[in-house]
Amino acid sequence: MWENIYLYVFCFSVVFNLILYLFAYLFRTDKITDISYSLSFAIIAIVSFNYSARSFIDLMLLILVMLWALRLGSYLFYRILKIGRDERFDKIRVNPLSFFAFWLMQGMTCAIVSFPTVAIFSLESAQAKLGFYIMIGFSLMGFVLETVADYQKFGFKNQNPSKFMSLGVWKKIRHPNYTGELIFWWGIYFAGLFLGIHWTTIVGPLWMTMILICFSGVPILAKKWDDTYGHLKEYQDYKKNSWVLIPKIY
């Protein structure tokens, strides 16, 4: 089973997301769209764990990924129930080809980013070293940062829907939720390296980094914020005194 595991994961994730695409397009709903992302990761982790040695390391990783998926999925689902629709999909939801491309990319992303996780589950025997626990702790830090960032922004936007967020963890980082996301997946990759997974699974966190920095993450929000708040001096000052993802670096 493990010989072709990456191909299995890739095919499953793409097919699963394209099936959900049909429902989302036919019923013109964002409720499926927002929850499907974390659900894909959760299913991949559960199935991979089922075929693993089910060691303490495997169980720890499963719990970590499931916590991440449950937190993100429940947050996005609650948010979409409250706001009714996700405005990011307004232009592509009505176009079947554009909407299809989004779901195809999402399926690919869930599979590729999961490669380091799947690689750890595929290990027949692994001895946890100090570096492994440090990197798992690193992932947990990312999980906490992402959780706090979403909580702070959601609360702020409920009270100040027309203002930009620059408080809490958003004060010095313009996209702390994405910073937490990257820390989470890079932590899992490096934890896997200490266990002996192949270095080429770096494609997982690299893919996530590329998506967030170059495509669906930072660029879209940066343009939206510039169009909405660009005329405000406080927003321009905020951009000058903050970093995109990592303070003092980027």
For the segment 59-77, the average pLDDT, to the nearest whole number, is 95
How far, in Å, CA of 106 to CA of 58, rounded? 25
Give the pair of three-digit tokens for residue 140: 């947990």
Mean pLDDT throughout 65-69?
98
Judge contact between 146 and 177, C-beta under 8 A. Answer: yes
* 89, pLDDT greater than 70: no
- Containing 79, the helix (H) or strand (E) segment is helix 56-83
Q: How far apart are CA 237 and CA 205, in angstroms?
A: 32
Taking only the tens place, the pLDDT of each residue in 216-232 is 889 989 999 999 999 99
Q: Please name which of 113, 107, 82 lies closest in space to residue 24, comparing C-alpha atoms.
A: 107
Cα 171 to Cα 179: distance, rounded to the nearest angstrom: 13
Split at pLDDT 50, 70, 90, the class of 85 is low
Q: For residues 36 and 75, is the Cβ–Cβ distance under 8 A?
A: no
> At 24, is the pLDDT very low, low, confident or very high (cuts 50, 70, 90)?
confident
Mean pLDDT of 50-75: 95
For the chain, strand residue ranges (E) read: none
Residues contacting 133, CB < 8 A, separation 6+: none
- Asked if residue 78 has pLDDT above 90, the reply is no
Place of tokens 């932590």: 187
Token look-up 């989004």 returns 102
Which residues have C-beta within 8 Å of that of residue 113, sequence separation ≥ 6?
41, 185, 204, 205, 207, 208
> How many Å apart are CA 76 and CA 83, to the nearest integer?
10
Cβ neighbors of 185 (< 8 A, separation 6 or more) are 113, 116, 139, 142, 204, 205, 208
Average pLDDT, the chain: 92
Contact criterion met (CB below 8 Å) for 131 and 26: no
Q: Each residue of 112-147: pLDDT tens digit?
A: 999 999 999 999 877 888 999 999 999 999 999 999
Of 47-56, 95-104, 112-121, least confident by mean pLDDT is: 95-104
Q: Would the pLDDT of 93 be above 80?
A: no
Q: What is the pLDDT of residue 127?
A: 83
